[in-house]
């Protein structure tokens, strides 16, 4: 059997991790530098921007690169859901790292050990997983008429969006809606890619994520099952330690 060419799931995950790291360096470290300089130097905003143009442009470019990460993680979440042998364990793993990641997330973006106003992206992914699981349960109910399934699905989606908005998760309700959009079109790759480009277009560079996704070959690649789960809280904590060492620990940038 001829081997399918393209990008494996592990390669996609590495692309997402690298772009996320670039984004978080921009937001967490350069963002603090911009806040500090703004507080200390900015009597005139235009003059301050001119004086710090290199830092501002670097910050903006890093954030633009970082927009590619979330769509890829959403796509991989759907792939994981479709291929997992135990959705319950998958969900518990996501939920566990929601909680493990919250302190490093709050430290980096809010300068506090715990801050309840804004939650990390694992919460968004977890809620998206719960919505997909709900859709699957409805679809498996053979006694339900089609219109009844649509009503239940709409209710499940609304509950997921409201939960993300209430918790104020990273990407919030629109993030959950985008996960569902990719899930609905999962069986037709071309439709999924088009839907993703449209659905994520509210962020300028996010649709570019669907270029590597288009080359996904359906293979898992390297075994990185727990790498992202560990990397996410670890890199947030390391970036915060760097900020703390620079004397910028208590500053909020979220």
For residue 126, being part of any structural domain is answered with yes
What local confidence, expressed as pLDDT, does residue 3 receive? Answer: 57
Instruction: Count the helices and strands in the chain (H runs, E runs).
Output: 12, 0
Is residue 125, in this structure, part of any structural domain at all?
Answer: yes
d(CA 74, CA 59): 24
CA 78/CA 217 separation, integer angstroms? 15
Q: Is 18 inside a domain boundary?
A: yes
Domain count along the chain: 1
In contact, 58 and 80? CB cutoff 8 Å = no
Q: pLDDT, tens digit, for every residue of 124-175? A: 999 999 999 999 999 998 888 889 999 999 999 999 999 999 999 999 999 9
| Segments forming the whole domain that contains residue 182 | 9-245
**pLDDT for 17-68, tens place per residue?**
999 999 999 999 999 888 877 655 555 656 766 777 888 899 999 999 999 9
Q: How confident is the model at residue 4 (pLDDT cuts 50, 70, 90)?
A: low
Spacing of C-alpha 178 from chain mean position: 11
Residue 45 confidence (pLDDT): 58
Task: Report if residue 2 sits inside a domain.
Answer: no
Assess if residue 127 is contained within a domain: yes
Length of the chain as a residue count: 254
What pLDDT score was predicted for residue 41? 56
Closest CA to 23 of 163, 203, 229: 203
Residue 84 lies in a domain: yes
pTM: 0.92
Q: What are phi and psi of 29, to 5 degrees?
A: -100, -60
Residue matched to tokens 């792939």: 79
* CA geometry: angle 129, 19, 246, nearest 5 deg: 110
Q: What is the pLDDT of residue 46?
A: 67
Q: Write the pLDDT tens digit of every residue in 173-218.
A: 999 999 999 999 999 999 999 999 999 999 999 999 999 999 999 9
Domain assignment present for residue 110? The answer is: yes
Domain membership of residue 47 (yes or no) is: yes
């Amino acid at each position: 059997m001829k081997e399918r060419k393209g990008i494996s799931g592990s390669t996609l995950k590495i692309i997402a991790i690298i772009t996320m790291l670039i984004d978080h360096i921009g937001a967490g470290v350069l963002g603090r530098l911009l806040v500090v300089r703004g507080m200390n130097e900015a009597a005139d905003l235009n003059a301050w921007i001119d004086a710090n143009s290199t830092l501002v442009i670097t910050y903006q470019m890093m954030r633009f690169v970082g927009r590619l990460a979330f769509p890829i993680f959403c796509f991989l979440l759907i792939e994981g859901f479709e291929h997992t042998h135990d959705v319950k364990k998958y969900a518990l793993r996501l939920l566990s790292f929601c909680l493990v990641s919250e302190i490093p997330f709050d430290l980096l973006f809010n300068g506090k050990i715990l801050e309840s106003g804004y939650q990390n992206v694992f919460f968004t992914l977890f809620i998206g997983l719960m919505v997909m699981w709900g859709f699957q349960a409805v679809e498996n109910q053979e006694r339900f008429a089609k219109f009844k399934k649509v009503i239940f699905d709409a209710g499940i989606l609304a509950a997921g969006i409201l939960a993300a908005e209430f918790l104020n998760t990273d990407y919030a309700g629109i993030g959950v809606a985008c996960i569902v959009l990719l899930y609905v079109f999962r069986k037709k790759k071309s439709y999924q890619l088009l839907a993703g480009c449209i659905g994520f277009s509210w962020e300028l560079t996010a649709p570019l994520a669907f270029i590597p996704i288009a080359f996904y070959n359906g293979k898992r690649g390297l075994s990185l099952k727990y790498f992202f789960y560990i990397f996410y809280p670890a890199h947030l904590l390391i970036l915060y330690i760097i900020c703390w060492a620079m004397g910028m620990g208590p500053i909020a940038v979220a």
